[in-house]
Amino acid sequence: MEQSFTQTFLFIWVILPLLIFLARVIDVTLQTIRIAAISRGIRWLAPLVGFFEVLIWLLAISQIMKTVSHPVAYIAYAAGFATGTIIGQSLERQLSLGTVLLRVITSSPSHELRRRLRELNFGFTSVPGQGAAGPVEIIFTVIRRQHLQKVQALVRETQPDAFYSFEEVAGTRETVYPLPIRSARDPFRPLRFFSKRK
Q: What is the pLDDT of residues 87-139, one digit of tens each?
A: 988 887 777 777 889 999 999 999 999 999 999 999 899 999 998 889 999 99
- Say whether pTM exceeds 0.75: no
Share of the chain above pLDDT 70, in %: 81
CB 103 within 8 A of CB 142: no
Inside any domain, residue 31: yes
| Per-residue confidence (pLDDT) for residue 196, from 0 to 100 | 45
Inside any domain, residue 88: yes
Total domains present in the chain: 2
Q: CA nearest 33: which of 195, 186, 180, 196?
A: 186
- Among residues 95, 111, 130, which one ends one of the domains? 95
CA distance 76 to 9: 16
- Mean pLDDT taken over the chain: 81
Higher pLDDT residue, 101 or 180?
101
Q: Centre a 10 Å sphere on the Cβ of residue 167 and count the other Cβ atoms it contains.
A: 8
| Per-residue confidence (pLDDT) for residue 124, from 0 to 100 | 92
Q: Name residues whose C-beta falls within 8 Å of residue 187's C-beta, 6 or more positions apart in sequence.
A: none
CA distance 67 to 81: 18
Residue 72 and residue 21 in one domain? yes
Inside any domain, residue 189: no
| Per-residue confidence (pLDDT) for residue 136, from 0 to 100 | 94
For residue 152, what is the enclosing H or E element? helix 148-158
Domain containing residue 50: 5-95
- Among residues 95, 113, 139, which one ends one of the domains? 95
Residue 18 and residue 88 in one domain? yes
Bridge partners (DSSP) of residue 128 are: 137
CA distance 58 to 70: 19
Residue 86 and residue 167 in one domain? no
Inside any domain, residue 194: no
The CATH number assigned to the domain holding 129 equals 3.30.70.120
Residue 83 and residue 149 in one domain? no
Inside any domain, residue 184: no
CA distance 70 to 113: 62
CB 157 within 8 A of CB 126: no
Lowest mean pLDDT: which of 3-7, 81-85, 120-124, 153-157? 3-7
Write the pLDDT tens digit of every residue in 22-32.
988 998 999 98
For the cut 60, the answer to whether the pLDDT of residue 63 exceeds it is yes
Inside any domain, residue 180: no
Higher pLDDT residue, 193 or 90?
90
Q: Is 168 left (phi over 0), alpha (psi -120 to 50) or beta?
A: beta
Inside any domain, residue 15: yes
Q: Where are the beta strands (DSSP E) in the chain?
A: 99-106, 125-131, 134-144, 163-169
| Per-residue confidence (pLDDT) for residue 139, from 0 to 100 | 95
For the cut 80, the answer to whether the pLDDT of residue 183 exceeds it is no
